Amino acid sequence: MPIRRPYLLPAIAAVFAGLVAAVPSSADLNSSLGNVRQHENNLQSSISADSRHIATFQGRINDLQGRLQSLETTLATEQAQLAHTQASLRASRARLVGLQSRLARDRRALAAQLVARYESEPPDLVSVLFSARGFADLLEKVDDLRRVSRQNTLITHYVVKTKNAVHIQTVRYAALEAQQSQQTAAVLTQRDEVAQLKLAIVNRQARYIRARSRKSARLATLNARARALKHQLALAQARAAAAQAQAFGIASGVTPPKSIGSFVPHGGAYGFFPAPGTNYTAGVEPIIAARLDALGKALHLHLIGLSGYRTPQHSVEVGGFADDPHTKGMASDTPGVEGVSEATLNQFGLTRPFAGAAEADHIQLIGSA
């Protein structure tokens, strides 16, 4: 028949009252954790909605990209045509300058000839006939008269022809200038349209990227908050279990099992329970887990392994060091052992190597500290 100890009730009540005053209650922590998880779900749903929204616009973005490539091809063609027109324009300008110079020269020659005819009476056939000093001289003077007539006609013809060529070249030059202006305006218009389309695509992508980044950052913050709340909840539950065990007179000094093998995950209320995502397979972590499991079962404690092996980067991220014992597979952060004495830990081959309340759950093997 169990022995009743009514005088223990006030002590038990005092222990639990002190525990409640020291740390948040499990109900409060569960409520906060539920709120954080709800926010996480909402953010995740919003990110998924953004992804679906982006997917619906992907077809339009592809169409814009196709139009952009087409416009760039057209722009390249028009730039080539513009370069050809500019080359033709330069050649036309040079030809026009040459024709204008030639026209000026022919006009000077024609003017000189007209002045000469005005200053000296042009010879006619009769005066040539009477002034000739023989038949040979007559033939020579008639040939000179014919040659002068042909030269006058030729110069007049050249002047008229050159003038017409200058007019034609001037018209062509004006047409090329107009064509150049039109092509230049077309090229600038195409460039503006290409730039606007590029800007529209970049703005679409940047807007969704910024939105996703903001939501992802908020989600990461909430994930960190959830991990912190889980840690606090595990601490609260472990402290409550330890306080309950101590209040009901469970011995803190027990004889450990003679043989402690490798850790095997299990169910139940007491023992060691690695948290999801933790690694207790590297280094001596399996031995630490097995001894913590034996300790928990012997003392009726629910010990949660929050952190076993960690990579150097992960260790720094959670406030540790790049070469701390966790990175070597030699330590475990285990809420629930804070109330266990160092002597009891030593009986199971364990030790608490660092002093202070913040390190009360940091456990290593004896001799590895």
pLDDT in tens, 154-193: 777 777 787 787 778 778 777 877 877 787 787 778 778 8
**Token pair recorded at residue 221:** 């913050």
Number of domains, the chain: 2
Cα separation values, 365 from 286, 287, 322, Å: 11, 8, 20
Under DSSP, is residue 305 helix (H, G, I), strand (E, B) or coil? strand
> DSSP string of 166-211?
HHHHHHHHHHHHHHHHHHHHHHHHHHHHHHHHHHHHHHHHHHHHHH
Cα-flanking dihedrals φ and ψ of residue 74, to 5°? Answer: -60, -40
pLDDT of residue 288: 94
* 64 belongs to a structural domain: yes
Q: Which of 220, 240, 262 is the last residue of a domain?
A: 220
Confidence of residue 209 (pLDDT cuts 50, 70, 90): confident
For the segment 309-314, the average pLDDT, to the nearest whole number, is 92
* 45 belongs to a structural domain: no
Triad 253, 16, 342: Cα angle to 5°: 25
* 126 belongs to a structural domain: yes
Q: Quick one: 68 and 216 in the same domain? A: yes
pLDDT tens-digit series, residues 110-152: 677 666 655 555 555 555 555 656 667 656 656 766 776 777 6
For the segment 240-264, the average pLDDT, to the nearest whole number, is 59
255 neighbors 296 (Cβ within 8 angstroms): no
* 48 belongs to a structural domain: no
Provide Rg for the chain, Cα atoms.
52
* 345 belongs to a structural domain: yes
Please list the helix, strand and coil fractions of the chain in percent, rounded to the nearest 5, in that order. Answer: 70, 5, 25
Distance between CA atoms of residues 184 and 262, nearest Å: 82
- Domain enclosing residue 258, as ranges: 8-38+227-365
Q: Quick one: 66 and 206 in the same domain? A: yes
Amino acid at 209: I
